[in-house]
Amino acid sequence: MRLEEIGFKVRGMATDDNSINRAAEGNFANPPKLQVKYDHPADKSCPLFYVIDSVHILKCVRNNWLNKHKNDYYFYYPDFDTLKNVFTASLPSVRKLYDLECSSLLKFGYGLTHEALRQPIWKGKM
């Protein structure tokens, strides 16, 4: 509301889908309800959109995957269409793909870098 008061036009809010953010976001509706479009509290003539920060979520998935070293870096996820099957993603397979393609001009793993595959212990800045 204060941003609107000083001249900004707020059309959406982005969140990393943290439980605190979800709870706060739900309060934009009465009764509280999670949705993607709300009545704008400062400007009833336009909606306020709720946007999940997908890049942050993908980074969290990646970091959790790298921390699965006790599980040989395997990541298990459901079949999102049916929720009946569980699939496996293998970080060693992704590393193998990187090793095969790192010097190739054409790549299946476009944007896959050595830095993206580093172990968490190596990631600290010195």
| 29-82 tens-digit pLDDT | 777 777 888 888 888 898 989 888 888 888 888 787 777 666 677 888 888 888
Q: How confident is the model at residue 23 (pLDDT cuts 50, 70, 90)?
A: confident
Q: 35 is in which domain, residue-wise?
A: 12-52
Distance, in Å, from the CA atom of 33 to the CA atom of 36, rounded to the nearest integer, reads 10
Domain presence at residue 2: no
pLDDT confidence of residue 71: 66
Q: Using one digit for the tens of pLDDT, what is the confidence trace for 99-117?
A: 999 888 888 888 888 887 7
pLDDT confidence of residue 126: 46
User: What is the average pLDDT value for the chain, to the nearest integer?
Assistant: 81
| Closest-CA residue to 69 (of 92, 95, 98) | 92
The answer to whether the beta carbons of residues 38 and 1 sit under 8 Å apart is no
> Which pairs with CB-CB distance under 8 Å and at least 24 residues apart come from 47-50?
47/11, 48/10, 48/11, 48/12, 48/13, 49/11, 49/12, 49/13, 50/12, 50/13, 50/15, 50/25
Q: Domains in the chain: how many in total? A: 2
Name the residue with higher pLDDT: 119 or 109: 109
CB-facing half-sphere around the CA of 119: CA atoms within 13 A: 8
Phi, psi (degrees; rounded to nearest 5) at 89: -110, 135
Segment 80-109 shows an average pLDDT of 87
Domain presence at residue 122: no
Domain presence at residue 88: yes
Distance, in Å, from the CA atom of 74 to the CA atom of 68, rounded to the nearest integer, reads 7
The answer to whether the beta carbons of residues 97 and 89 sit under 8 Å apart is no
Element holding 101 (H helix, E strand): helix 91-101
Q: How confident is the model at residue 121 (pLDDT cuts 50, 70, 90)?
A: low
Domain presence at residue 62: no
Name the residue with higher pLDDT: 124 or 5: 5
